Structure 1
Amino acid sequence: MMMTTPAQPAGFIGRAAAPPYPRKTPIAVTGVWLAEALDDPADALAAWDDGSHAILPAGWRFDTVRIPAELVHAAADSAIHSTLAEHLADFGGPVICDPARWYYALVPPQTSETWASGLARCLSRGAWLGVPRTDLTEHAHLHWCVPMEYPARLCDPGAVAALIERGHGQLTPERTEFRHPR
């Protein structure tokens, strides 16, 4: 006969029963920080909970540099996800990847005011960005190529600009001097 104590229900055999519903992974502190860019952060949290991405405004918590994928691939001399993630980690902050064509480096707010590169656009107030769950790093859909480690730790705009220039240099053929035949 099994003995139970008041803290253990009858039939307790040493581990808690599974909840009657699937447990959802809690959103990280960085997710809450990002969600607070909205007037109602619960909207973003609900979207992530449903497996979707949240649409967040740029210009409040972050600006974002939208970089064409071909520039990133050229700068890294690779299209392999892990190699790209290593290169993008040099930015010092989070990068979102839309595998179809763009990388989005999250940079400090007001970066757009001083952004000088014509090769990639810096988006700020008035722009909206699809932001995946903070733990979504699979590379088949919108995902974090470089996840956000801490709230407010954003990419260094100078490092982002340098990578863009390096990629452009790789894609642009060297100038040669043309000589007319004599």
Structure 2
Amino acid sequence: MTTTDTALGIWLAEALDAPHETVHDWRTGRHAMLPTGRRFDAVRIPIELVHAAAGTVAHFTIAEHLTAALDGPVIYDPNHWYYALVPPGTTDAWTCGLARCLGRGAWLSVPRTDLTEHTHLHWCVSMNAPGHLCDPATVAALIEHGHERLIPERTGFRQPR
């Protein structure tokens, strides 16, 4: 059994009406383009916010931090984005203006489920089980924490009278 035949791979592939296309892409070394809004939505988080929230730019430490903080799958795109997978429909109630939530009508490039260490698109935090996704409120809290760490501390000198 290959990684694409695991329960996780099958669950992700079934986001398409033709899941065999996803499996074929993974088997031939390509990433699969999957629609958001069916099996999952995805919160696209700027890399700077994740680094600030984790307090580091070290990839291994960031992966540990996200694993502990989010308890759900995260894809890392070295083009400056992290994608936290959240339940479908999250985009309808998403209020955090610091990151965009991708739902119905959007697509996400998804690597094979076993691709966890790579210089290209990969899972920073792997899925634990089919359907086990990040809690949207926890993702928003992580984003806001990163934003707070990026904002310089206010001093008495800067505060308006």
Q: What range describes the TM-score normalised by the shorter chain of this pair?
A: over 0.9
What is the match of residue 43 of structure 1? Answer: 21
Q: Which residue of 1 aligns with 2:75?
A: 96
From 54, 70, 77, give the equivalent of 2:32.
54
The equivalent residue for 1:174 is: 153
- The corresponding residue for 2:60 is 82
Letter in 1 for 2:153: E
Query: Does 1:25 pair with 2:2?
Result: yes
CA separation in 1, counterparts of 2:87 and 2:3? 26
Match of residue 117, structure 1, among 76, 88, 96: 96
User: Which SS does the other structure have where 1:45 is aligned?
Assistant: helix
Letter in 2 for 1:135: D
Q: Which has the higher contact order (CA 8 A, sep 6+)?
A: 2
Which residue number corresponds to residue 118 of structure 2? 139
Q: In the superposition, relative to structure 1, how do residues 26 and 165 fare at CA in structure 2: closer, same or farther (>3 Å)? A: closer
CA–CA distance in 2 between the matches of 1:121 and 1:173? 24
* One-letter amino acid of the structure 2 residue matched with residue 136 of structure 1: L
1:38-97 per-residue CA deviation (whole Å, 9 max, x = no partner) reads: 010000000000011000000000000000001000110111111111111121210000
Q: Are the aligned partners of 2:47 and 2:82 in contact in 1 as well (CA < 8 Å)?
A: yes
Counterpart CA distance in 1 for 2:50 and 2:140 is: 11
Are the aligned partners of 1:67 and 1:103 in contact in 2 as well (CA < 8 Å)?
yes
Identical columns (%): 64
Q: Decide whether the 8 Å contact of 2:3 with 2:9 is kept in 1.
A: no
Offset at 1:171? Answer: 0.7
- Measure, in 1, the Cα distance between the counterparts of 2:103 and 2:51: 25
Deviations 1:94-145 (A, max 9, x none): 0000012000000001111111100000010000000000000113010000
How many residue pairs end up in the alignment? 156
Equivalent residue, structure 2, for 1:69: 47
- Residue identity in the other structure for 2:75: I
Q: Distance in 1 between matches of 2:3 and 2:91?
A: 32
Distance (whole Å) between structure 2 residues aligned to residue 25 and residue 110 of structure 1: 31
Instruction: With the length of structure 2 as denominator, give the TM-score of the two structures.
Output: 0.93
Secondary structure of 1:37 counterpart: coil
**Moved >4 Å (runs of 4+):** none
Which is greater in Rg? 1
Backbone CA RMSD of aligned residues? 1.3
